[in-house]
Amino acid sequence: MNPYRTHTAGELRKENVGEGVRLAGWVHRRRDHGGLIFIDLRDRWGLTQITFHPEQEVFQTAEKLRPEWAISIEGEVAERPEGNANPDLPTGDVEVEASGLDILNESETPPFEVERERPVDEITRLKYRYLDLRRDRMRENIIFRHEVVKHIRDYLSERDFIEVETPLLTASTPEGARDYLVPARLYPGEFYALPQSPQQFKQLLMVAGFERYFQIARALRDEDGRGDRQPEHTQLDLEMSFTTQDEVLALIEGLYTEIVEELTEKKIIAKPFPRLTFAEAMSRFGSDKPDIRFGLELTDLSDLVSASDFKVFRGAVEGGGSVRAISVSDLGDLSRKEVDDLVEVAKEGGAKGLAHFQITDADIKSPIAKFFSEEEIEGITSRVEAKPGDWVFFVADKNPVVFESLNRLRLHFRERLDLVDKDTLALCWITDFPLFEYNEVEDRIEPMHHMFTMPREEDLPLLDTDPLAIIGQLYDLVANGTELASGSIRIHRPDIQRKVFEVIGMDEDEAERRFGSILRAFRYGAPPHGGIAPGIDRFIMLLRDEPNIREVMAFPKTQAARDEMMDAPGPVAEEQLKELGISLRKKS
């Protein structure tokens, strides 16, 4: 028999009245009323009101109680007096009249209030994360996270997937971010790397014949902090043999639909999830992770303005770029400062400026109107479907700049005009990404996602002639403008894999040194296979309407990648460095 509790603080109801019980937890709140002491006792499951009467021996001990003390109480369940019930609590119809009290541990005054959801400096919250996790919002987030992960495991296990753990100490194979390196004491001067993903291992499991693998995997990337990123994150890692893109997408679509509909109150806008090619997503929304809950789609005007007298527009088209615009309603008359603020939004995307038309009943108002004929103006306003009262905003530049700048404007107006319902999810697939992209800074071709993606069958000849024209069998899952998952059909033939390495400038010796294990494995009957890796933290952040993933992780790092609670990273003893054969150089 448990010496601390017979029930949890969240389960007592009217039917328990008259029962003798023991409860254990923390003092959530204390109130003194008319000679009585009331304690709200909190544990993981809820709150129960405890009443101490002055004629009882435990009353004097109860007078000492303070918030966050750990206690165990004994008493009898009673119905609350008429008018004193709390309809907001599941246990609000009852209380426990205490006859015994054990103080299990006292608490210093916490650095912030645990019982109330008031703003607290994030650094303080993370330094005392064990106290922050006692608060309702954080506790509920972590419990919800458990429910999501359990649902994932159950869903995949029912479909014959096998969970396999892959190593955390592995070889350095950069996949778009810097590796975290671990010195190998037994091999001075050599290093393990912590995995950015289990990519090679899951492909090797397909070669090994497991056919359906998954893992709730930790992935570690040494990259700059952002609200939706952490140095270490958790992902569902999944791989299937003898599969197709459609099969992978259908599997994940079913999983996500179940999670949303069974565990939340949110509504999915469209089922099945819409599919957009990469080219379509960029052309319509300026982003490969578009929020499709609202309009303000981009319109290409390049052909209409390529011969105009406005040199900025004409020059952008002649230079291989484009001129695109969005038309926005319900803005009213914008002041000069408001227009300048919008220009700054566009500049954050790389634009040099932002041109505009204001459509009126009679004509248009614009500093650039004089450069266009009536026919050109009519063509522009007709194509963007602008009506009186609308504003049309133009960006002219190289396509990446045009897309990024107008996408930022779309998202700005989404918030400014309150264009979306926060309780809806617009999930969509983005497919048919280019396999490669050109890195102008380093003057080389590199993979758009990673180097293990299979080209479309019809594009295989282009590996020798025009690799930048190749479309990969790649797919991303996006919701409300946030990328949730990325996957692909993988290369399973060693000749194609070697060719891809060659295209990105990796010679045979380097390919063998870095990826020899997977190239060898492909020679032993590797099956066609593909998979996906949905980020769990980011998905839960979206479902819980949290501003960043730190709010859905038990022990996150700060945005500066520090662990304030454990004071890491930090220096280590000279003896440890000596044992590892490492000496430190001072920064110049």
Residue type, 568: A
- CB proximity list for 452: less than 8 A, separation 6 or greater: 199, 200, 203, 488, 490, 491, 497, 518
Residue 17: CA count within 13 A, CB half-sphere: 9
Selection from 427, 554, 576, 430 nearest residue 142 by Cα: 554
Residue 60, number of CB atoms within 10 A of its CB: 11
Task: Report yes or no on 275 lying in a domain.
Answer: no
Residue that is last in its domain, among 419, 444, 462: 419
Q: Is the pLDDT of residue 175 over 90?
A: no
Q: Look at residue 228 in the predicted model and tell me its pLDDT.
A: 67
Residue 526 CA to residue 241 CA, distance in Å, equals 9
The confidence band for 34, taking pLDDT boundaries of 50, 70 and 90, is confident
Strands 424-425 and 267-268: parallel
322 with 219, same domain?
A: no
Q: Is the pLDDT of residue 115 over 80?
A: yes
CA distances from 198 to 339, 400, 436 (A): 47, 31, 22
Average pLDDT, stretch 453-478? 96
Task: Report yes or no on 326 lying in a domain.
Answer: yes
State the total domains in the chain. Answer: 3
The confidence band for 176, taking pLDDT boundaries of 50, 70 and 90, is low
Average pLDDT, stretch 203-218? 98
CATH of the domain at 74: 2.40.50.140
- Is residue 192 within 8 A of residue 184, CB to CB? The reply is yes
- For every residue of 429-498, which 3-state class applies, written as one string? EEECCECEEEECCCCEEEECCCCCECECHHHCCHHHHCHHHCEECEEEEEECCEEEEEEEEECCCHHHHH
The confidence band for 225, taking pLDDT boundaries of 50, 70 and 90, is low
Residue that is last in its domain, among 419, 441, 460: 419
Q: Is the pLDDT of residue 1 over 90?
A: no
Average pLDDT, stretch 510-538? 95
462 with 553, same domain?
A: yes
Task: Report yes or no on 59 lying in a domain.
Answer: yes
Residue that is last in its domain, among 401, 419, 437: 419
Q: Look at residue 174 in the predicted model and tell me its pLDDT.
A: 59
Residue 362 CA to residue 377 CA, distance in Å, equals 13
Report how far apart the first and last C-alpha atoms of the chain are (Å, whole number).
Answer: 64
Task: Report yes or no on 133 lying in a domain.
Answer: no
Task: Report yes or no on 543 lying in a domain.
Answer: yes
Task: Report yes or no on 221 lying in a domain.
Answer: yes
158 with 246, same domain?
A: yes
pLDDT digits (tens, 9 = 90+) for 353-396: 999 999 998 889 999 999 999 999 999 999 999 999 999 999 99
226 with 152, same domain?
A: yes
Q: Look at residue 363 in the predicted model and tell me its pLDDT.
A: 85
The confidence band for 226, taking pLDDT boundaries of 50, 70 and 90, is low
318 with 433, same domain?
A: no
55 with 176, same domain?
A: no
The vertex-229 CA angle with 225 and 230, nearest 5°, equals: 75
pLDDT digits (tens, 9 = 90+) for 251-303: 999 999 999 999 999 999 999 999 999 999 999 999 999 999 999 999 999 99
Percent of the chain with pLDDT over 70: 99
CATH of the domain at 230: 3.30.930.10
pLDDT digits (tens, 9 = 90+) for 406-447: 999 999 999 999 999 999 999 999 999 999 999 988 899 999
225 with 326, same domain?
A: no
CATH of the domain at 377: 3.30.1360.30
65 with 99, same domain?
A: yes
Q: Look at residue 223 in the predicted model and tell me its pLDDT.
A: 81
Residue 416 CA to residue 422 CA, distance in Å, equals 14
449 with 394, same domain?
A: no
Task: Report yes or no on 580 lying in a domain.
Answer: no
395 with 376, same domain?
A: yes
Task: Report yes or no on 5 lying in a domain.
Answer: no
pTM equals: 0.93
Range of the domain at 80: 14-105
96 with 174, same domain?
A: no
305 with 374, same domain?
A: yes
Average pLDDT, stretch 536-565? 95
